[in-house]
Amino acid sequence: MDPRCLWLWGLLTGGALRGGWAQRGWSMYVPPRITGLRGDSIVLPCTFTHPIPDYTGDIRVIWKPDIFQCLVSNGTQTGSFDNCTTGQGPSGRYRLAGDPRRHNLSLHIAGLQYEDSREYTCRVMIPDVPNVYENKIGIMLNVEARPSILNLTLLPGPLPVRVACTAEGIPVPNISWRGPAGIEVVQLQNTPGPWYQTTQVVSVNQTGTYTCRAENVHGWAESSVFVGSTGPTLLLILLPATLFLFPVLLLLVLCC
């Protein structure tokens, strides 16, 4: 049969599925895109059907790129999938969350990191069926992050002084400031940085507590710093006065 006819037949019979693909006796579904938060765990869904309803042999599960592959016996209704993982330690963050005997190949990822943002592909093999079945569309995992304040620095100097706040998050957080009532905080510069960071420098001209707030769609974080009288300026004033008064005090003691 002309391949173009096969393609048209697939469209008419629902062979092409949203987020998945189907061929004779096979189907698979995965969401095209999923979002997780850094530090959290997530499950990438993957379900399938195969053309042998009463199959009792092995099922080979494969997650790419280079996550793991393992064999699960379809002849038992109980048992663990200890071999469906990448081992202990940092590489053991991946394990099988679904049950292949129930047509579920879902993948569990623990401790999400920025580097986990990529495409993942679900694949299944049944030895009694000549074909390897793989979803034509992978799952795109986007790892985002709650805001965090990496550094809040009070730059030395007399009033007005500068305060720098560096925050991180995905999406890049917006920074706002809160100071003592009625005190204006003047923004000097806002500098984007690497790894979804941003730094904002402000100028303050009165003493008090100033709070940097970083906020995005996933939440907010705050950090505060106290701006007081600068030490070096105060010492410069007191030191000459002390040197002048010391001889006078000494003379009074000797005379008395």
pLDDT in tens, 65-121: 889 888 888 776 665 676 787 755 445 789 999 999 889 999 999 999 999 999 999
Q: Which of 106, 114, 109, 107 is nearest to 90 (CA)?
A: 109
Please give the Cα distance from 209 to 227 (Å, whole number): 6
Average pLDDT, integer, range 37-44: 97
pLDDT for the residue numbered 69: 87
When the candidates are 2.60.120.920, 2.60.40.10, 2.60.120.10, 3.40.47.10, the CATH number that belongs to 3-137 is: 2.60.40.10
Average pLDDT, integer, range 226-249: 45
Instruction: Name the band, by pLDDT with cuts 50, 70 and 90, for residue 252.
Output: very low
Q: Decide if 207 contacts 229 (C-beta within 8 A).
A: yes
DSSP class per residue in 137-150 = S-EEEEEEEEEEEE
Q: Decide if 164 contacts 147 (C-beta within 8 A).
A: no
Please state which of the ranges 40-44, 62-66, 74-78, 169-173 shows the lowest mean pLDDT: 74-78
Structure tokens at 40: 């959290």
Between 19 and 181, the more confident residue is: 181
Q: Decide if 114 contacts 141 (C-beta within 8 A).
A: no
Query: Looking at domain 145-230, what is its CATH homologous superfamily?
Result: Immunoglobulins (2.60.40.10)
| pLDDT > 70 fraction of the chain, expressed in percent and rounded | 72
In DSSP terms, 125 is beta-bridged to 60, 132
Instruction: Name the band, by pLDDT with cuts 50, 70 and 90, for residue 193.
Output: confident
Q: Decide if 227 contacts 164 (C-beta within 8 A).
A: no
Structure tokens at 53: 């309803």
pLDDT in tens, 208-223: 999 999 999 999 999 9
Average pLDDT, integer, range 168-196: 87
| pLDDT > 90 fraction of the chain, expressed in percent and rounded | 41
CA distances from 109 to 44, 63, 102 (A): 8, 12, 20
pLDDT for the residue numbered 160: 86
Q: At residue 151, does pLDDT exceed 60?
A: yes
Average pLDDT, integer, range 46-64: 86
pTM to 2 decimals? 0.73
Q: At residue 240, does pLDDT exceed 70?
A: no
pLDDT for the residue numbered 45: 96
Say which residues have a Cβ less than 8 Å from residue 197's Cβ, sequence separation at least 6. Answer: 150, 166, 167, 168, 172
Q: At residue 237, does pLDDT exceed 80?
A: no
CATH 2.60.40.10 intervals, the chain: 3-137, 145-230
Q: Where do runs of H (alpha helix) occur along the chain? A: 3-12, 231-255
